[in-house]
Chains A and B, each alone.
Chain A
Amino acid sequence: MADRQPPMDSHAAPAPAGAARPPSDVLAPGHSFGSVTDKITSAILRPGFLPGWVFGFVIAFGVMSMFLFAVSYLLIKGTGIWGVNIPVGWGFAIVNFVWWIGIGHAGTLISAILLLFRQKWRMSISRFAEAMTIFAVMCAAVFPVFHTGRPWLAAYWLFPYPNSMNIWPNFRSPLIWDVFAVSTYATVSILFWYVGLIPDLATMRDRARPLIVKRLYGILALGWRGSAKHWQRYETASLLLAGLATPLVLSVHTVVSFDFAVGVVPGWHATIFPPYFVAGAIYSGFAMVLTLAIPIRAYYGMEDFITMRHIQNCAKVMLCTGLIVLYGYSVEAFMGWFSGDPYEGFMIWNRMTGNYWYMYWFLIFCNGVMPQALWFKKVRTNIPLLFCIALVVNVGMWLERFVIVVTSLSRDFLPSAWGMYAGTMWDWMTYIGTLGLFTWLMFIFLRLLPMISMFEMRTIVPSAKIKSEGGH
């Protein structure tokens, strides 16, 4: 890997973690291949359940059941139980969809882009960041399906499949682009995740005692044995996947932003959307990574692997993407005035002073003002404070999507058709429900699979370094 080719390092690595630093600060000193392996596998192979885990699991399961209830009622009664109306045909559902998809992006970014940049600090967080991606995409996918009037048809009519009526989807619609982008994204993320898991699954197979468990991990490990030739192909494959996932992750939120940018609605129809959506996605994604990493590392005592270095780098990425997002807001405002388009002008003015003004300014505070604290090392190294900021940013990113979707629709071209929107109790139940679904899946993951990529951690154990020939 990276640390075998010093020259490679020196020129690739614009991100904070320069390869010039010794690898030690991405791994606490004193670790050997064995200790790394034991530490990580023990979280899974330990008999019984940790009370804290059980507690969280049960709560998450409860919240998820609420989601199932809300969705069942939706199927019985119809979309009308939500707050959507004409003119505001999209409400919470699409807001949540964009929010979740955005969160997913951090995982892919960490595992793909940072891999291309040879960032060693990605190793310990990539595994659960990728899990986060997959679960977030699952939560996201729920909304576009159930927000339709006839989900039982929408579920498959959006895919191009041969049928007796020769009816096909309309490839000009951004929603079809979404279908392609999101399903591709989901597939690739799962593949990437699984490939990364294969060697660790082999480790689990070899470490697990009960035969059935051994067998299960064994099946998933595909009989991996760590042959040099295998490793060679394996490394090529992961590098290629990273190379493919990078343009993919950038395209996904771009396509999502097209849902709006392609529309004529003032406040949607903007060319700044793709870059600013992608930045926003990474922004919220890293916020979510911190939201998860901080409690997990504390609870499982993984401070050795997820060090302050990791925490700080996440914070720095947030700061950077946060600034891009803030730039997006200012461009929107500027263009409102500069375009001279009365509808654009009214739109931005209405955002700032109209019926939803508080949403806008709260969003500016959450995404624009608050994160500026991250300029200071004191803040970046203050775990509780960082955790709060991460939460605030998560809220802020949700508000951003609300402002884009709802405020724009509620005041478009014909004043006669203007209307207000408010989420109903069912909107909230569905949204909070997906949070439950997400955490529930997370808990299952933490219990069954190594939350940190062991084989990658081994590569940064000091003794993994090859001493020059004849030195033995």
Chain B
Amino acid sequence: MSADKTLDLASIRARTADARGRRYWQSLEELADTEAFGDFVKREFPAHASEWLDPVGRRGFLKLMGASMALAGATACTRQPDEAIIPYVRTPEDVVPGKPLFFATTMTLAGVGAGLLAESHEGRPTKLEGNPDHPSSSGATDALGQGAVLTLYDPDRSQSITYLGEARPWASFSQAMQNQLAELKALNGAGLRFLSSTVGSPTLGAQVKEILAALPGARWHQYEAVSRENVYGGAALAFGEPADVHYKLDQADVIVVLDADLFGAGVAGNVRYARDFANGRRIRKATAEMNRLYVAEPTPTAAGSIADHRLPFRASQIEAAARAILAGVEGGAVPSLGDAADKFFAAAVKDLVAAKGKGVVIVGDRQPAAVHAVAHAINQSLGNIGTTVVLTDPIAVDATSQTASLTSLVADMNAGQVQLLVMLDVNPVFTAPVDLDFAAALKKVRTRVHAGLFDDETAELSQWHVPTTHFLEEWSDARGHDGTASIVQPLILPLYQGKSLHEVAAVFSAKPERNGLDVVKEFWQAQPQAAGQDFTKFWRKSVHDGLIAASALPAKSVGKAQVPPVTPPAAGSGFEVAFAPDPTLYDGRFANNGWLQETPKPLTKITWDNAVLVSPATASKLGVKSGDNVEITWKGRTLQAPAWLQPGHAAEALTVYLGNGRRRSGRVGDGVGYNGYALRTSDAPAFGVGAQVRRTGGVTLIASTQGHHSMEGRALVRAATFEEFKKTPDFAHHMGEEAPGKTLTLYNLTAQQRERAVAEHAPTTYAWGMSIDQSVCTGCSACVVACYAENNIPVIGKEQVLRGREMAWIRIDRYFEGDAENPAIYHQPMLCQQCENAPCEVVCPVAATTHSSEGLNDMVYNRCVGTRYCSNNCPYKVRRFNFLLYSDWDTTSYKLQRNPNVTVRSRGVMEKCTYCVQRINRARQDSKVEGRTIQDGEIKTACQQACPTDAIVFGNINDPDSRVSQLKAESTNYGVLAELNTHPRTTYLAQVKNPNAALETELPGMEKEEPRAFPKVPGKDMSETNSMTHAPR
């Protein structure tokens, strides 16, 4: 129709003006049939938009368009889903505007689920918290869990089913697939292949089985760049059958970690492990014992940074190390691995043997199966299996090797045996081993179907693309790291035409048109857990609790672990290349997530980039400085990337991060950093040796948020060994200057005058304070992302971060002390200290920052004129300034995520941590309504709630029994820079480590010398190796 030829947003709005919810979708689908709509799609969809965004940094993030959301019908987002969903704390009947509801749901990563509570404001999920009842979460999340909610609102998500780029309604997709199947049925489904991410959902697993049963010729492949295939492989080698492994660190006194990023983002069970580990080493008055952590790894990780002993050790040598430990444990002859290593492992073995049944040896997922098998043998002979190590049936429905499976699929594709390839929630074109050349093989497939959140690299090469639902939009289920099953509950109707994997899979089953809820319900109806009770009750309870009772996988009993023969050491000399998922972007699926791009990587503090990590010594051998471009040549392939000097990195080794260098991730992630996959082959998907490195000249400006890495002898992080602590529990107070007494004042007041002065500042029931335990902070940065989500913190892009204008309200200061090759690593979360004598307040000319009666250092945005004097005068430099209009005021979808209780700041005003004052006020209102005072623990700041190790405690210091008061009473409690008489309300518990006396390592941070009056020249010592002297930073 001619009217449609010039179809524009206005006319679409007109045609759908009165439309709401369901009918709205229908009307859109009708629209979708007109080819004018197709043009409109071309004109308006972000996927096509990316090219006309300004390339300066990722500022594109800030300048987007609302049209896509208008299409998707933002109106629909403010409605509760039609299905009844059960709120965690209250029933939906009493939805009070302005009062968030919390719903339990689950986030799945690489097939492993973690329980979450989603905060919903009038039907908009705005923030994710951990589900305290869920074993994999214990109430906290990792950085990815915090960031995931932004992906829901990512304006670059694909928004309609497309065939060759043209929008199509679901019906025509379904029909097209039916036709395909009709043909293939004749061949028993031969030529039909599925390629999905790791299937952890029991329901989806059942669907897969059903489909394959109906079509014996069809095959289902799984592939993920970061998978647990080696875990399963290792169990298979040792015990003859694949098994899943998880650890009970709360039972462990001695923990030996071999190249495992145990607390890293996205690692199965990471949050629970961190919590259990931390519980084993909190230093309190009564503390009599502490667990001990040994870590041998090439790249410093969260676990390594907090370890009592850390050994920089090449990944390719881990097998030898594992066998050495085994030999040591079994009392055999121990082959030498070099001086430092021998001493290290000898000490570890001694401790392990001493703590039979209470120790554990943990091997990283990327280590080959053989190493896992050896670990099983060690743990078995130490009697740890069953106590600290639990073996269960695999969580993944299909536990076979993914790399092998993908390789065979590609072979078949190249052989032209694949007619229809259905790719579910995978992006193999980007993540598959480069030697398989998946893209080329894919072109040989007749019909290529891609279902995913984004119109990504794989979708580009597929005829059909189906947008899938974000986990906050769908019904599904998942298993936690210990196998506990939980329900994935939607918080909002699909924003776009998304379909859950269950719905897409159903298309290939007997009953093609089914909605996710029915599929999931039906599956659980048949399960033993539901047996013998009213299913509706069971279902409501399971959804409400966020987990299905008694669904954890039972521990397997296993026979004697077989130790596989020694794998011949990899041929070729030269550098070791080890691939690791990006610390904040995982395997690349979060590349378009502004929060996660801007969150500094925990140990390098790099934002908006990834770099090849090398040890300082190796770097100086190569004549390379941080930021210098290098070329890595390996197996005939080359990779150009900037180098970064990482103190504590294994020598002669390179860490190459996966996840950046995306081509079609969206306006945020496109072209950020380098693509590590370009070097990753199927024969060495994790690591290997024999790489050559050379400097290519030229420098990449890398936006690191911390340029200086030495404490310059200042007593900022105060640390001691457990022994020293036992001798002098108040060691923290002998390491630097202390706060002068309150009497040090210009106003020498009489006692009664002082009283009046105090009275002037009306003390109230509450005095808020915070305590941060540096003994357990792993620097994982979940708190940083949580703060972004809770406080509407703007994302500013690389160019602005380079200028030193990052906006994060909480940052984690990371210091190195001592030998650059194996330094002590300290993390110090730094946020507004809410000083009682705040230097910032005094200097503000317009009284825009003043003190509340409860001791909060309030920031009044409306009053601020932006002199920045407060920031200059803040000794902690925790204030952030909107130098430009940083907040995104345009993108509708991002607006949906905002916390309605927090002001969105505009240009030219100062901002900073408020102790989550909106949460304090919510609690105050509740307590007033109920006529009581606020209970201890009722208020958790966003950072505290996210913290996996519970290192941050917030509360009322007027209440002597509150947790925070107790902690502040600890002998290790001290205030950073308290000598400036700032009287910070945030104080720190000094770090205590538990080193093995046998390895008398000097923890360099701990020499008691007074800070030097004339310290080393900055810029000349190792501490400056990463400083960007070539950039305004």
Contacts and interface: CB of A to CB of B under 8 A. Distances in A.
A62 interface: no
Nearest to A175: B845
Interface in A136-174: 144, 147-151, 153-154, 157-158, 167-170, 172-174
Contacts of A173: 842-845, 869
Nearest to B982: A264
Interface of B: 706-714, 716, 800, 803-806, 811, 813-815, 828, 830, 839, 842-847, 863-869, 871-873, 875-877, 879-885, 907-910, 976-977, 980, 1010-1015, 1017-1019, 1023, 1028-1029, 1031-1033
Nearest to B812: A416
Contact size range, A: 35 or more
14 contacts: A80-B800, A85-B804, A86-B881, A90-B868, A149-B868, A149-B909, A150-B866, A151-B865, A170-B846, A173-B844, A179-B845, A346-B1015, A349-B1014, A420-B707
A5 B425 CA distance: 100
A342 interface: yes
Interface in A63-110: 77-80, 83-90
A263 interface: yes
A20 interface: no
A417 interface: yes
Contacts of B709: 415
A151 B867 CA distance: 9
A418 B879 contact: no
For the complex of A and B, list the 5 residue pairs with the smallest distance between their C-beta atoms, beginning with the closest.
Answer: A149-B866, A149-B908, A89-B868, A80-B883, A85-B804
B877 A86 contact: yes
A83 B1032 contact: yes
A364 interface: no
A345 interface: yes
Contacts of B710: 415
Contact of B872 (A149, A168, A409, A419): A409
A148 B1015 contact: no
Given A85-B803, A157-B865, A416 B845 contact: no
Contacts of A86: 804-806, 871, 877, 879-881
A428 to B, nearest CB: 14
A13 interface: no
Contact of B875 (A88, A151, A172, A414): A414
Nearest to A150: B908
Contact of A158 (B706, B708, B712, B845): B845
B1029 A420 contact: yes
A246 interface: no
Q: Please report whether the interface of chain A is mostly helix, strand, loop or mixed according to DSSP.
A: loop
Contacts of A264: 839, 873, 875, 980
B907 A78 contact: yes
A148 B866 contact: yes
A224 interface: no
A355 interface: yes
Given A80-B883, A263-B872, A414 B830 contact: yes
Contacts of A223: none
A265 interface: yes
Contacts of B1029: 355, 420
Contacts of B828: 416
B1032 A417 contact: no
A353 interface: yes
B865 A355 contact: no
A148 B1017 CA distance: 34
Contacts of A418: 707-708, 1018
Contacts of B713: 342
Contacts of B864: 149-150
Given A80-B805, A168-B847, A414-B830, A89 B871 contact: yes
B865 A349 contact: no
Nearest to B1030: A420
A161 to B, nearest CB: 12
B847 A416 contact: no
A7 B879 CA distance: 62
A414 B716 contact: yes
Contact of A416 (B814, B866, B1012): B814
A79 B806 CA distance: 15
Contact of A414 (B866, B876, B907, B1014): B876
B311 to A, nearest CB: 26
B1032 A422 contact: yes
Contacts of A415: 708-712, 714, 716, 815, 1023
A148 to B, nearest CB: 5
A79 B1018 contact: no
Contacts of B869: 89-90, 173, 175, 259, 263
